[in-house]
Structure 1
Amino acid sequence: MSTPRTLPRRPIAMGIFLLVTGIVALYASFRLVLDEFAKYENPKTALSCDVNVFVNCSDVMTSAQGHLLGFPNPLIGMMGFVAPIAVGVLLLAGFRNGSRWFWITFNAGVFLAWVFVTWLFTQTVWFIGALCPWCMLVWAMTIPMFWVFTIWNLAQGRFGAGAQRVGKTLLPFCWAFPLANYLVIAVSIIIVFPRIFQSF
């Protein structure tokens, strides 16, 4: 008599992780879009996130970097962050396997999102000279979304056996990678804006 095959455990934690980070990033992008509309209506209006000369959404939003493709960057977030929300829902609904290329393509999308927010971080800190709280919330969600999901995806064996061994080794320490990423950003902000905390 044959025993029934054991199904792989539903990845509930990863589903919740993608759902939460995706929803928070989507909300931050939505708030940025609302602020863009407010600026279009009245270019001189002060936004709720215009705190001082260092923390100033208006300076970031009106910059050339804030419209990289000719339209407001938050619209990219509004479209893009639907994907991790959808994948999170699929995982919670019991979607386990799927095509290997589906997971690789999604991972590539998350990587591009990380590259984009990293570029925006360098531009706002070193070139624009102002910080946008809603943008930083998007950074805060995209960074762990990329690092944690990528390591988890490696551990699932979707990039080959060798990468799977690396992923399984790194998986218990996956939290350290976004933490290191956060530290780089924090140290950069402190170096570039040494008086930021004195201006509140």
Structure 2
Amino acid sequence: MPHAQTHTRPTGLAVWLIIAGVIGWIAAFALTMERLHLLADPDAIASCDFSPLVQCTANLGSWQGSVFGFPNPILGLAGWVAPIVVGVAILAGARFARWFWWLFELGMVFAFGFVIWLISQSIFELGTLCPWCMVTWVVTIPTFYAVTLHILRSGLVTVPAGVRSASERLMGWLPLLAVGSYAVIAVIAQVQLDALQRIFPG
């Protein structure tokens, strides 16, 4: 049975991977520079510190900000290059082997899981909303959805025809899925941190 989707060029996905990769890399670069700035001058105020709630310093200086022994943004500097390269390669006509997509999906699963953990730590443990961190959340979540749905719809993973068909339909609803995820995070932040009252007092 031919797998038509497997051998087509997912242009929309490629464009999104490039956009998300660039945005994510910029956020990681900004956080890395802030971290270096704070290392050089521990008394400095990060440019992304706007209030006790909306700030980067608490996140960067916490153990959660260096889970693997080095600042988390360095992971972003390295990791966000992959979606950019994959997106450009797809637009150039490259077709990747099944194992490559599986490895790429594994990377996205790690990124998604790590971001969900960081969101929980930021809201429930640190009590902050880091601006550049939130930019990373905004692009990681839909990128995970997009890559996962593409793999399911394309036949790269053996799933029932109904799952492939549903994945194809859900791809068209990807923006809504992302917005729904952002809404859930916003509601949790509001309930836990009273975010609106603290951002817009009075």
Normalising by structure 1, we get a TM-score of 0.91
Q: Residue by residue, what CA displacement relative to the aligned partner does 1:53-109 show, whole Å, maximum 9, x if unpaired? A: 10111111101100101110000111111111110011110113x211111110111
Name the residue aligned to 2:184.
184
Cα distance in 1 for partners of 2:67, 2:36 equals 17
CA distance in 1, matches of 2:94, 2:79: 21
Residue 143 of structure 1 aligns with which residue? Answer: 141
Write the mapping of 1:154-169 to structure 2, written as runs, cut at 5 A: 154-162=152-160, 163-169=163-169
User: How many percent of aligned residue pairs carry the same amino acid?
Assistant: 35
Question: What is the distance in 2 between the residues matched to 1:49 and 1:27?
Answer: 14
1:39-118 pair list within 5 angstroms:
39-96=38-95, 98-118=96-116
State the partner residue of 1:26: 25
The TM-score with structure 2 as length reference comes to 0.90
Deviation at 1:199, TM superposition (A): 4.4
Gaps of 5+ in 2: 1-6
Question: Distance between the aligned counterparts of 2:186 and 2:150, measured in 1?
Answer: 26
SS in 2 for 1:15: helix
Question: By how many angstroms is 1:161 displaced?
Answer: 4.3
SS in 2 for 1:175: helix
CA distance in 1, matches of 2:27, 2:111: 15
Is contact 2:53-2:199 (8 Å) kept? no
Structure 1 ranges of 4+ moved more than 6 A: none
Q: Give, in whole Å, the separation in 2 of the partners of 1:170 and 1:20.
A: 20
Distance 1:90 1:12 in 2: 10
Alignment partner of 1:12 is 2:14? no
Whichever residue aligns with residue 78 of structure 2, its letter is M
Aligned residue for 1:46, secondary structure, equals coil
Displacement of 1:10 in angstroms is 3.0
Name the count of aligned residue pairs.
193
Tell me whether 111-120 or 152-161 shows the greater mean CA deviation. 152-161
Q: Structure 1 residue 9: deviation in Å?
A: 4.6
